[in-house]
Amino acid sequence: MAHSFWSILVLKMLKESPSNSPHTSLFDITEQLLQNHPLLALAQAFDWASLEQEFKSLCKKTGRGAKPIRLMCGLLILKQMYDLSDEQTVEQWLMNPYFQVFCGVKEFQIKPPCDASELSVFRKRIGTQGVEKIFALSVELHGDDAEEETVYVDSTVQEKAITYPTDTKLAIGVIHRVNKLAKACGIQQRRTFIKEVEQLRIDCCFRHAKNRKKARRALKRLRIIGGLQLRELQRKLPQKVLDLQKDNFSNYEKALTQQRKDKNKIYSLHEPDVYCIGKGKDQTPYEYGKKASVVLTEKSLLIIGVASHDKNEHDSKLLKPALDHAHKHRQTKITTAVVDKGYKGCMQYVEQEVVIPNKPLKRDNEAQRKRKSYLCKSERR
């Protein structure tokens, strides 16, 4: 009874409200938030029209209607700003009104904007060039602060979402993927080895000295099974499917035959480009992912350039790609790059002045020594 009374009261209030009222909806939130909030200021300064014009051709004209471009781009920006996963970004958007206004929503929403998996689909759709466009617009917002001639450059590891790689995991992964592909293509296998693989997985888990021989025999058997199923599938699959799976089969064969001291090993089946990186850290001696370089301005500490490297090369060879990427988003040329001691030998690859925290040279005067000491202070890095 009480519920119906309040419903009638709300409807009566809505009917009696003047048509020229600034609040066109009961859930309008644009004027109820702090107008000086950083997210609202960023939303007003960002060039959304340029993004919509850039990505308009990517929207399909058939099927279900596409999500607004500002909504999807805004979610990607919020994800990076607050270091959230795709699922967390969607959850926070549903609870945070500032997130919703930043993405172009005028009324408070009580339903998720999209499924979390749609963010990864949108990232693949816009590709590397689309992400570059968003990054370039974010750099342009800072104006002269992004045009400083002195920058800091450092490299880090962009870790991938993979488990600790072992030969057992890779062999079992190959067997399961081959079985799944055979089932999808309707191919009748002689054996699937499911029960035997489960027992072999258990045998490989016991690394005690007494069971070491047993674990080695189990791993050898897993590799044999993987090779048998892979060759059987290659004989029975149609040529069109073989052409599509050519790269995958090559990675499978490499994962089954690689040895401990081999180079360019496969560490993950779903991320075959991952390589092992040792940065000398006590807590994480080895990390699995890709090297990434970051370029920051000296005073404002703005990120004006990032670069991901496909090969595990020395840091001295990574300075030039990082500076080249930074030059794409600015008008002023970089004159000085401040780096750490891991970049020794990089002067032969770049034209800019490189400052490394070494002992002062005899030919340096007092002003040069003070400048290098000022730039290389650990507190400023």
From the CB of residue 78, how many other CB atoms can be counted at a distance below 10 Å? Answer: 20
- What's the whole-number mean pLDDT along residues 133-141? 89
d(CA 299, CA 252): 49
Q: How crowded is residue 246: how many other Cβ atoms within 10 Å of its Cβ? A: 10
Helices 212-236 and 194-205, packing angle to 10 deg? 150
- pLDDT beyond 60 at 6: no
CA distance readout (Å), 263 to 194, 254, 259, 279: 31, 11, 9, 18
Type of residue at 8? I
92 contacts 84 by C-beta, under 8 angstroms = yes
Average pLDDT over residues 73-92: 92
- Helix, strand, coil proportions of the chain in percent (round to 5)? 50, 10, 40
* CB-based contacts of 254, cutoff 8 Å, min separation 6: 265, 266
Q: What are phi and psi of 15, to 5 degrees?
A: -70, -35
What is the pLDDT, as a whole number, of residue 35? Answer: 84
Tell me: the pLDDT tens digits for 48-64? 988 888 888 877 666 67
pLDDT of residue 28: 67
Which tokens go with 109? 């929403």
CA distance 287 to 280: 10
Average pLDDT over residues 72-83: 92
Domains, the chain, in order of start with CATH, read 27-141 (no CATH), 145-159+276-375 (3.30.420), 167-273 (no CATH)
Overall pTM surpassing 0.85 (yes/no): no
The pLDDT tens digits of the residues spanning 188-247 come to: 999 999 999 999 999 888 767 788 889 999 999 999 999 999 999 999 999 999 999 999
Mean of pLDDT values over 258-286: 88
Place of tokens 């401040």: 338
